[in-house]
Amino acid sequence: MSAKIISFANQKGGVGKTTTTIEVGENLSQTFHKKVLLIDLDPQASMTSVKSNMHQIVDQKLPTMSDVMLGNQDLSNIILNIKSNLDIAPATLVLSDAELNLVNATLRELILKKALSSVIDNYDYVLIDCPPSRGVLTVNALSASDYVVIPVQSEYQALLGMQLLKNTIKNVQSQINADLKVFGYVITMTSHTNHSNEVTESIKQDEYPTIEEIPRTIDVADAAVANMSTYEYNKNSKAGLEYLHLTKKIMKLGE
């Protein structure tokens, strides 16, 4: 077994990267019984605070992704189990220091890829929640990945800067990781407004495909609090069903 590695990336914050990573991870592991590792590569550590006990990690000074990125810990030593088939490699704010210290490291773009090699056979999927930047952490995620999913919010501002993210992806593809494939966009928090529809239509004109559209609904936040996917929380939720579709499409990748 060798895991498929998928990054969820967008330099903009608040667009649904963490939510999408968690929804797919929950569905793959709980609904489809795949073995999943979530990697928190965002110094804001919102996935870690939602999925594990941040107080315990800080108080007990447990090792985290910052130790892995600085070469002080094996990835296998920092992984925490969340529930059956679902593990997390947690992060804390300290990861922002690691990002600064990596600037001059040799082969700094390939640290995560190397770290993953020792655990990759234990999982079906490794899902990487990227920081809202195009810095060395995001480049590490893209360099280690088979696929990148781009969550994008259905509002006009979401389109600004998209070309820069695409440049980063293309640079990684041409210089570091020729195997990286762009799976496509997940348009998040859609609504029935003209504005949302117009943005959705414009994203669909892009060179990369749109995989799924996820409506804005309180179910998504409620499910996160309940530590479940939206689908498992409420099997009738439109957003939950769309995230389930996305998960099924991810399971077809590479078939």
Query: Which residues of this chain interact with Mg ion, rule CB under 5 A?
Result: 17-18, 46
Decide which of ligand ADP, Mg ion, none touches 188; Cβ closer than 5 to 8 Å per partner kind: ligand ADP
Residue 215 C-beta: closest distance to ligand ADP, Å: 6
Classify strands 80-83 and 181-190 as parallel, antiparallel or unpaired.
unpaired
Q: What is the rounded distance in angstroms from the CA atom of residue 74 to the CA atom of residue 223?
A: 32
Residue 66 C-beta: closest distance to Mg ion, Å: 16
128 backbone dihedrals φ, ψ, rounded to 5° = -110, 120
Residue 72 C-beta: closest distance to ligand ADP, Å: 26
Decide which of Mg ion, ligand ADP, none touches 217; Cβ closer than 5 to 8 Å per partner kind: ligand ADP
Q: Which is nearer to ligand ADP, 143 or 190 (CB)?
A: 190
Name the site residues for ligand ADP (rule: CB under 6 A).
13-19, 46, 132, 188-189, 214, 216-217, 220-221, 224, 239
Residue 93 C-beta: closest distance to ligand ADP, Å: 15
> Of 168, 174, 130, whose CA–CA distance to 151 is shortest?
130
Q: Which is nearer to Mg ion, 4 or 17 (CB)?
A: 17
Q: Which is nearer to Mg ion, 21 or 120 (CB)?
A: 21
Decide which of ligand ADP, Mg ion, none touches 154; Cβ closer than 5 to 8 Å per partner kind: none
Query: Is-contact 41 65, C-beta < 8 A?
Result: yes
Classify strands 86-89 and 80-83 as parallel, antiparallel or unpaired.
antiparallel
Query: Is-contact 232 30, C-beta < 8 A?
Result: yes
Q: Which is nearer to ligand ADP, 16 or 63 (CB)?
A: 16
H-helix or E-strand spanning residue 87: strand 86-89
Inter-CA distances, 239 with 15, 38, 65, 94, Å: 15, 21, 30, 33
Q: Which is nearer to ligand ADP, 120 or 250 (CB)?
A: 250
Residue 249 C-beta: closest distance to ligand ADP, Å: 17
Q: What is the rounded distance in angstroms from the CA atom of residue 120 to the CA atom of residue 122?
A: 5
Residue 18 C-beta: closest distance to ligand ADP, Å: 3
User: Coil, helix or strand for 68?
Assistant: helix
